Structure 1
Amino acid sequence: MSGRIVRLLAAASVAGAAHAALNTALLRRPPAAPPPVDRPVTVVLPVRDEVGQVGACLAAVLDQRGVPGLRVVVVDDGSTDGTREAVLAFADDRVTLVEAGAPPPGWLGKPHACAVGAARADDGVLVFVDADVRLWPDAVAAAVAVLDAHDLDLVSPWPRPLTGSLAERLVQPLSPWLWATTLPVRLAECSPRPSLAAANGQFLVVRTAAYRRAGGHAAVAGEVLEDLALLRAVKRAGGRGGPVDGSRLAACRMYDGWPALRDGYTKSLWATVGSPAGTLAAAAALTAVGVVPALAALRGSRAGLLGYAAGVAGRAVVAVRTGSRPWPDALAHPVSLLVLDALVVRSVRGHRRGTLTWRGRTLPAPGTPGPTTMGR
C-alpha cells in the first residue's frame, strides 16, 4: 500500500481520536446529588429466561432514591426457567408482573414486551431497563435530572460495560467508542435527523408524552435494534435526545463469554447502519482507518505509527470516560476491529440466509413479513 494512502488513513485516525476526545468532553453528565423526581416514574423490565439476573436487577430498581412515584412493571416474555417465581418473591406493592403474550404479526418479542409494559405507565417518565443491568441508587433520579436540565425528551445513559473474558474486553468497549468517534453528540442531540442518533436499550429514560407522541414501541415493532429505532422515532416526532454518561449510574455485563457475545452480536450487527450493505461498508472503512496504519507501522512507517497511536489514544479516552478498562486493552484496538469484522460478516451472512436465531427463536429472513418473536 502506498505511503500516501497510509498517510491519509493515519490522518483520519488522528481526526477520529480528536473527535472522540471532544465528544467525551461534551457528553452530558448527571448530577452527583439529583433532586427528587416530582412526577410518576414507571420502570419497564422486559424479561425472558432471566432467573439468574432478574432478582438483583429488580432489587436495584426498588432501591432507587428520590423517586417517590416509582412503579415497576415486569413483563415476562414466555420464560420457562423460574423467572416468574423470582419476581413473585418480591413482596412489594410497587411491582406488577404481567405476561407479554404472543406478539402480533410484525412484532419482535422485546419491542412487544416493552409496549405491553409501557401501556400500564402513568403520565410522567418511562424507564426501560434490561435484566442484566445494575442501577446505582440515584440512577433514575439523576437521569431524569438530565432530561429536565437540558429540556430533552429521551436520554440513554450508557452503562459502564463490565467484561470478564478476553473476547468481551476486545469487543464490548467498541460500542461507546463507535458513537464517540463518529457521532457529533451535541449536534445529534438537537438535530431532527434520525440518522444522527445513538442509544442503548439497556437503560433508556423517556418522557411518557414524547414516547406516546412518537408512537411508542409500535413504531419500532419489527426493529432488531429497537433502542436506536425508538430514539429515531422520537426525533421524527419533534423530540430531542441521545446518549449521556451513565458510567456512574449503572453497569452491565451484556454477554458472558465468547459464545454468548458471538451469538448476541450476530443477531443484530447487520442492521447497525440500516442495511447489510451499509454495515459492511462501515466496517470496511473502520478497518481501513484502524488496522492499515498499524500494519504499516510494523513495516517501519512513521505515518502508520502515528495512526496506530491515535487509534489507541481515542479508544483509551473513550474507555476512561465511559468506565471501560483503558489499559492495556486499548493497545489491541486493531485486533478488536478485526474481531468486529468477523462478527459483521457472520451477521450479514446469517441475515441473508435467514438462519439467525436468538434464545431459541428464529429471526425472519430478508423480504419476509415481520417476525413474531425475539428476546434480547
Structure 2
Amino acid sequence: MSALAWLPAALAGVLALHAVVNARLLRRPVAVDFPEPVAVLLPVRDEAARVEPCLRSLLGQRGVPELAILVLDDGSTDGTADLVRAVAGDDPRVRLLTGAPLPPGWLGKPHACQQLADAADPSAAVLAFVDADVVLEPGAVAGAAALLRSAGVGLLSPYPRIVVGSWGERLVQPLLQWSWLTFLPLRALERSARPSLAAAGGQFLVVDRSAYRTAGGHAGVRSSVLEDIELARAVKRSGGRIALADGSRVAACRMYGSWGELAAGYTKSLWASFGSAFGASAVVGLLLLVYVVPVLLTVAGLASSSALLVLAGCIGYALGVLGRVASAAATGGRWWPDALAQPVSVLLFGWLVVRSFRLRRAGALRWRDRPVVL
C-alpha cells in the first residue's frame, strides 16, 4: 500500500519533467521577411462580434511582399460580410468570397477551408489558415511561414496564446497547451511517420501548398470534427512531416467568451479526440490518478494521521502543479493562481468528456446550427 501511494507522485514527476524538456525544445516563429507568396485564409460564420480585430491584424502584416487575404463568409446572418467590407475598404489584398451551400458528407469548417484553398492564387506557395478569434502580431505570418521552411515540414501549427476571461475558461483552456507539452514527444512527433503521433490547432495553421494538395486538402477530412488534427495526419500519411510551435508571442486567441460557449465547444469535439469510449476512459482515468488522487491521499492521510499518505499526496499535488506552471511559462499562459487548481481542471475536463460522449450517443451534438456527426 505504501508503494502504491507514491505511484501518482512518480507519474506526475515524470510528466512534469517531460513538459520541462519539451518547453526547452519548442520552436517559435520570429519576425523575418519571407520572400514567397502567401495566402491567408479566413473562414467566417456569424463572427460580426469578433472578426474586426482579427482582420485588422491581418491587414497589418509585414514581411511578406506578396500577401493575399481571402475571407469566406459561410452563410452568416449577423452582418459579418458587411463588416468585412467596411474594415477591408479598398485594400487590394482582400477578397471576400460567398460560401457555397454545404454539400452532403461535409462539415462546415472543412468545406469553408477547402473553398478558400481552391480560390487562392496558384502562385501562393504557403497557405495560412486563421480563425476569426485570432489576433496576429505584425510579423506573425512571415515568421510562421519562415519557420515552416526552416523546419522542413509540410504543416506547422503555431499555437496562439490562449486568452481567458471567466473562471471556467481559466480552469479548462490552459489544458490545451499543457496536454501536448506534457504527453507528446515533440521531436519524435516531427521525425515519426506515424499518423497517430500527430497534433495541430486549427486556430492558426500554416501549410506548404504542395504538401496540402498531396495530402488531399480539407476534402480528405471533410467529415471530421477535428479537421486540424486529421489534416496533420493526412500530411503524414502522404509522406510529409509536421511540427508544433509556440505561437504565443505572435498570436493570441480567445476561443470562447463564456463557460457556456466553452462547454458547448468542447462537448462537440471531445468524443472524437480519443478514438473510442474505452480510450477516453483510459485517458481520463490516468488523469484522475495522477492529478486528483494526490488530493484524496492527503485528505485520507490527515483523517488517519498517516504522515506517509500526507507526504505522498502533497508531493504528487506539487509535481502536478509544477507541470502546469512549466507549460504556462513556456506558452505565455497565466499560472498564478490558476495552476493550483489543476485537480479541479482535470475534474472539469473529465465531466466534459462524459458529456460529449453522452450527447453524441443521443444524436444531439450541433455547432453553429449544424449537426456535428454526419
Q: Which residue of 2 aligns with 1:187?
A: 188
TM-score (norm 1): 0.94
Q: Which residue of 2 aligns with 1:160?
A: 161
> Which letter does structure 1 place at the counterpart of 2:255?
M
281-290 or 258-267: bigger deviation: 281-290
**Could you say what secondary structure the match of 2:288 adopts?**
helix
Alpha-carbon deviation of 1:264? 0.6
2:34–2:143 contact (8 Å) kept in structure 1? no
Is residue 2:24 matched to residue 1:25? yes
**CA-based RMSD:** 1.1
Is residue 2:2 matched to residue 1:3? yes
2:140–2:251 contact (8 Å) kept in structure 1? yes
Out of 335, 338, 351, the position equivalent to 2:344 is 335
Q: 1:102, 1:4 → 2: CA distance?
A: 60
2:169–2:259 contact (8 Å) kept in structure 1? yes
**Could you say what secondary structure the match of 1:294 adopts?**
helix
Counterpart mapping for 1:317-328 below 5 A: 317-328=326-337
Q: 2:278, 2:66 → 1: CA distance?
A: 46
Q: 2:243, 2:176 → 1: CA distance?
A: 14
Counterpart mapping for 1:356-375 below 5 A: 356-364=365-373, 371=374
Alpha-carbon deviation of 1:148? 1.6
Alpha-carbon deviation of 1:295? 1.7
Q: 1:175, 1:100 → 2: CA distance?
A: 30
Q: Which residue of 1 aligns with 2:56?
A: 59
Q: Which residue of 2 aligns with 1:115?
A: 114
Q: 1:72, 1:241 → 2: CA distance?
A: 24
Alpha-carbon deviation of 1:9? 1.9
List 4+ stretches of structure 1 deviating above 3 A.
Answer: none
List runs of 5+ in structure 1 lacking aligned partners: 365-370, 372-376
Q: 2:39, 2:371 → 1: CA distance?
A: 31
Q: Deviations over 1:31-90 (max 9, x none)?
A: 3x41x2111101110100000111211110111010111111111111000001011112
Q: Which residue of 2 aligns with 1:38?
A: 35
Q: 1:201, 1:125 → 2: CA distance?
A: 15
> Which letter does structure 2 place at the counterpart of 1:322?
T
2:69–2:94 contact (8 Å) kept in structure 1? yes
Is residue 2:271 matched to residue 1:270? yes
1:350–1:356 contact (8 Å) kept in structure 2? yes
Is residue 2:96 matched to residue 1:97? yes
Q: 1:354, 1:304 → 2: CA distance?
A: 41
Alpha-carbon deviation of 1:27? 0.8
> Which letter does structure 2 place at the counterpart of 1:330?
A
Out of 357, 360, 365, the position equivalent to 1:351 is 360
Counterpart mapping for 1:164-313 below 5 A: 164-300=165-301, 301=309, 302-313=311-322
Count of residues in Structure 1 that have an aligned counterpart in Structure 2: 362
Identity of matched residues, %? 55
> Which letter does structure 1 place at the counterpart of 2:312?
A
> Which letter does structure 1 place at the counterpart of 2:190?
E
Q: Which residue of 1 aligns with 2:304?
A: none
99-108 or 38-47: bigger deviation: 99-108
2:157–2:200 contact (8 Å) kept in structure 1? yes
**Could you say what secondary structure the match of 2:250 adopts?**
strand
